[in-house]
Amino acid sequence: MAEVTLRNVGKRYDDVVAVSNINLDIPNHEFVVLVGPSGCGKSTTLRMIAGLEEISDGEISIGGEVVNDLPPKDRDIAMVFQNYALYPHMTVAENMSFGLKLRKFPKTEIKQRVDNAARILDITELLGRRPKQLSGGQRQRVAMGRAIVRNPKVFLFDEPLSNLDAKLRVQMRTEIKRVHQKVKTTTVYVTHDQVEAMTLADRVVVMNNGKIEQIGTPNDLYHHPKTRFVASFIGSPGMNLIPAKLESNGSGLNIRLSEKLSFHIPESRAARYRAHTGKDVLFGLRPEHLTETRGSENGVGQEFPVTLDVVEPMGMETMVFFKVDGTEVCGRVEPTAAKKSGEEMQLRANLDHMHLIDPATNVVL
């Protein structure tokens, strides 16, 4: 078993707190992604798991064994870095086998492991080449192969795709997911790219200011964020957040976004918000729930007019931007339905997917 457990883990650099009170349980075989903006503590957390950073507080265990005082080489982990760190004078096969040779593995077992990893990564024909003869994507596969031949308890990935171009990043995301489905080693992966996190992870750990904001499956985080930060960070573009006020409307509730615009809150959601009537809130709705009127919706949602500021054709969809009481808002519409900048357009808001956030605590109500 290769579960990874962090208990009250913290890291301080003199008076600067980089990571504070992290608690995380990663079961055997799970693929967990740590995601967040630069400086949130995700790479520091990964380096503490690897043993490359000493922890200031708490306890880290791998496979049930506390590893606080173990050096990296004794933790049975393999790490793939942002830069490939391949030896330029060695062939692909020699790069992949170098760590095994240092550990005095038999030559037959080394060859078997290298051939097996090369087959998994589809780089068998590259084994005789040197790094300078490889593309960026091929070098990253070799770096992954060097980790796979170790057959470690845990794989650690530190932003491995950051140096690749956009198209190659998409291809390598698929490769990494395919490799994990074959090898099924416990994996901790760090990225600042929330799309990468959502597409790769079994579970995502969203970090901010050295703390964990929320842990959940990609769908949980997307549809049920617990904080303002998670709501705005997860999703591309992020959730629209508009200052608003809850108002009583007889037996129901309205959410007022401006002097001219208010929506009736669906009865299914009114009960949970009633205690906040009369208070200022943030109204959250994702762009895909602000669309043109579509014939199959049968009255779902509430229509309202907007004047478009910016129109961005994306091919299969078009992003439209407009303002609500000074706040920029984004919607997703069918390309054929989009108007031009400066024109008025009728949109529909699907409030079955709305969120309300307390601006004082930044917690989703």
Same domain? 252 vs 293:
yes
With a CB cutoff of 8 Å and minimum separation 6, the contacts of 33 are 188, 189, 190, 191, 196, 197, 200, 201, 203, 204, 205
223-273 tens-digit pLDDT: 999 999 999 999 888 899 999 999 988 778 899 998 888 898 888 888 888
The range of the structural domain enclosing residue 345 comes to 240-364
- Tell me which of 199, 225, 251 is where a domain ends: 225
CATH at residue 272? 2.40.50.140
* Cα→Cα distances 197→8, 171, 192, 222, 257, Å: 24, 15, 8, 12, 32
pLDDT score at 166 = 80
- What's the rounded mean pLDDT across residues 323-352? 91
> How high is the mean pLDDT of the chain?
90
Helix (H) or strand (E) holding 244: strand 240-249
CATH (domain of 180): 3.40.50.300
pLDDT of 175 strictly over 60: yes
Query: Is the pLDDT confidence value at 1 over 80?
Result: no
* Overall domain count for the chain: 2
In the chain, the percentage of residues whose pLDDT exceeds 90 is: 56
Shared domain check, 126 and 47: yes
Rounded to the nearest 5°, which phi and psi values hold at 70?
Answer: -85, 140
Specify the length of the chain in residues.
Answer: 365
> What is the per-residue pLDDT across 124-152, written as a single tens digit (0 to 9) for each?
998 999 999 988 888 888 988 888 888 88
Q: CB of 3 within 8 A of CB of 27?
A: yes
Classified as helix, coil or strand, 160 is: coil
Query: Which residues are paired to 66 by β-bridges?
Result: 61
CA angle 279-285-286, nearest 5°?
160
Q: Which of 169, 190, 225 is the last residue of a domain?
A: 225
Closest to 134 measured CA to CA, from 89, 81, 167, 92:
92
Q: What is the pTM of this model?
A: 0.88
One domain for residues 334 and 310: yes
Nearest in space to 323 (alpha carbons), one of 303, 341, 338, 337: 341
> Is residue 354 domain-shared with residue 272, that is, in the same domain?
yes
